[in-house]
């Protein structure tokens, strides 16, 4: 997929653990792991909003469009 998810980068920048983010935004660690590894088919706007709010960032900090990126599938 051409959309790259840089959530782990933002987590490292903000020094927030995955499990803490998951608990804060009401997701399971498994769901958050799916987002981090780009294995999701889509992210709801409400989820994106909650992530950005907790990590104090913009959607563009987490999502990146890279047309040359090969699909993981």
Find the binder of another protein among 10, 21, 27, 62 (CB under 8 A).
27
3-state SS assignment for residue 48? helix
Distance (Å, whole) CA 50 – CA 59: 10
| Structure token pair of residue 30 | 């498994």
The structure tokens 């987490």 sit at: 62
31 contacts another protein (rule: CB under 8 A): yes
Nearer to another protein, 44 or 68 (CB): 44
Shortest gap between Cβ of 70 and another protein (angstroms)?
19
The structure tokens 């699909």 sit at: 71
Q: Which residues bind another protein (CB under 8 A)?
A: 27, 31-32, 34-35, 39-44, 47
């Amino acid at each position: 997929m051409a959309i790259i998810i840089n959530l782990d980068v933002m987590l490292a920048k903000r020094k927030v653990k995955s499990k803490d983010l998951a608990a804060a935004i009401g997701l399971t660690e498994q769901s958050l792991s799916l987002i981090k590894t780009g294995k999701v088919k889509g992210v709801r706007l409400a989820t994106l909003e909650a992530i950005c709010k907790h990590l104090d960032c913009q959607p563009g900090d987490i999502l990146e469009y890279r047309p040359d990126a090969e699909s993981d599938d």
